Structures are given as C-alpha cells and as structure tokens.
Amino acid sequence: DVKVTQSSRYLVKRTGEKVFLECVQDMDHENMFWYRQDPGLGLRLIYFSYDVKMKEKGDIPEGYSVSREKKERFSLILESASTNQTSMYLCASSRSGKTKNIQYFGAGTRLSVL
C-alpha cells in the first residue's frame, strides 16, 4: 500500500513563528502536493512539485513556500505564521503521466496559530 506520512497530526504555533510541515511518501512518486482545507472552502491547492527541486504555485501560495530536496519528501514552510493560516493541511502524491493516476493523501496536520 502507498503510504503518505505527515510528520504531525496536530501542531500549535505562535504568530510570527517559522513553521515546517513535513511530508514523506514511499512509492517513488514524481508528483507531490500541498493543500489546505477550511470549512466551507473545501480543499485548495497551495503548491505542487513535479520533480526534485521543482515547484509550481497552486491557487493560494501567498504566505507559503515549499522545498523538495529529495524525491520522497515535500516540505511546506510558513515563513511567519499568522492566525489566518490556522487550518488542516493535507499532503498528497501521485505518479506523473496520465490523468488516471491517483493521488494518495496523508492523514493531515491540523495547525493552530495563536
């Protein structure tokens, strides 16, 4: 089974802190994604990556950056956390190529910024 592991299920940080959310996948997938999920707004794509050291902005990249130094790991960085970044963060991965390829999600990290 494909496994996408997010480093924390719950995280509490203070405004202005630098926050790292880590995601690791074990299936050698080329594509990795970061989403956030908020009530009433559904899942929204923050950033995605097609390959090591490559990144593309999603729909809501402001206030976030990402890092993909190794194929299996995709990190989401909040340079200076703000209260409006309190949310559920979901990481996913998929093989590249065809649109029939499936995205596999982690369990999510619920981040609270106080």
Partner 1 sequence: DAKTTQPNSMESNEEEPVHLPCNHSTISGTDYIHWYRQLPSQGPEYVIHGLTSNVNNRMASLAIAEDRKSSTLILHRATLRDAAVYYCILPNNNAGNMLTFGGGTRLMVKP
Beta strands in the chain (DSSP E): 4-6, 10-13, 19-25, 31-38, 42-49, 56-57, 65-70, 73-78, 87-94, 104-105, 109-113
The stretch near partner 1 (CB under 8 A) out of 14-22, 28-36, 63-71, 74-82 is: 28-36
User: 3-class DSSP state for residue 11?
Assistant: strand
The stretch near partner 1 (CB under 8 A) out of 11-19, 48-56, 65-73, 76-84 is: 48-56
Interface residue with partner 1 among 58, 61, 63, 73 (CB under 8 A) is 58
User: Backbone dihedral region of 46: left (phi > 0), alpha (psi from -120 to 50 degrees) or beta?
Assistant: alpha
User: 3-class DSSP state for residue 58?
Assistant: coil
Tell me the residue type at 58.
G
Interface residue with partner 1 among 90, 93, 111, 113 (CB under 8 A) is 90
Smallest distance, partner 1 to C-beta of residue 89, A: 10
List the structure tokens of 16.
Answer: 């202005």
Contact call for residue 34 and partner 1 (CB under 8 A): no
Contact call for residue 64 and partner 1 (CB under 8 A): no
Interface residue with partner 1 among 11, 43, 60, 77 (CB under 8 A) is 43
Applying CB under 8 A, the residues found at the interface with partner 1 are: 4, 31, 33, 35, 42-43, 45, 48, 50, 56, 58, 90, 92, 94, 96, 98-108
